[in-house]
Amino acid sequence: MSRELPLWEVFVRAKNGLSHRHVGSVHAADARMAIEGARDVYTRRLEGVSLWVVPSDAITASDPGEAASLFEPAEDKVYRHPTFYVVPDNIKHI
């Protein structure tokens, strides 16, 4: 059997002013064909105005096993949020 066509992750910008968002993947021989495939698969109903395709193997993901050490330290740092600070009601525009 022939080689499997490479996998590309697809990102769509729904409209200008918004970021591209991951929507899924397509198989294609090269970037140009991945864009064309992604256009047919993910934007048949005006879902976007711009596409990104990225070779799937170029993405490095964080390890869910490290999620605790990566993200939980933020939990006890409430002082990073504005609501942590008490300001009297009569002080405006702050």
Partner 1 sequence: MYVQEVKTASLGDRPVPVVVEDPARLAAFEARVAADEFVEPKDWMPEAYRKTLIRQISQHAHSEIVGMLPEGNWIGRAPTLRRKAILLAKVQDEAGHGLYLYCAAETLGVSRDQMTQALLAGKAKYSTIFNYPTLTWADMGTIGWLVDGAAIMNQVPLQRTSYGPYARAMVRVCKEESFHQRQGYEAVMVLAAGTPEQKAMAQDALDRWWWPSLMMFGPPDDQSPNSAQSMRWRIKRDTNDELRQKFVDITVPQAEALGLKIPDPDLRWNEEKGGYDFGTPDWDEFFAVVSGEGPMAHERLTARREAWDNGAWVRDAAMAHADKRTARVAA
Q: Which residues bind partner 1 (CB under 8 A)?
A: 1-5, 7, 23-30, 33, 40-42, 44-45, 61, 63-65
Q: How far is the CB of 52 from partner 1 (least distance, A)?
A: 16
Whose structure tokens read 């949020």?
Answer: 81
Q: In the sheet that 20-27 helps form, which strands lie side by side, from edge to edge?
A: 20-27, 7-13, 50-55
Q: CB of residue 86 vs partner 1: minimum separation in angstroms? A: 34
> Which token pair is 91?
């002080």
Name the phi and psi angles at 8, rounded to 5. Answer: -125, 140
- Of 43 and 86, nearer to partner 1 (C-beta) is 43
Nearer of residues 61 and 78 to partner 1, judged by Cβ: 61
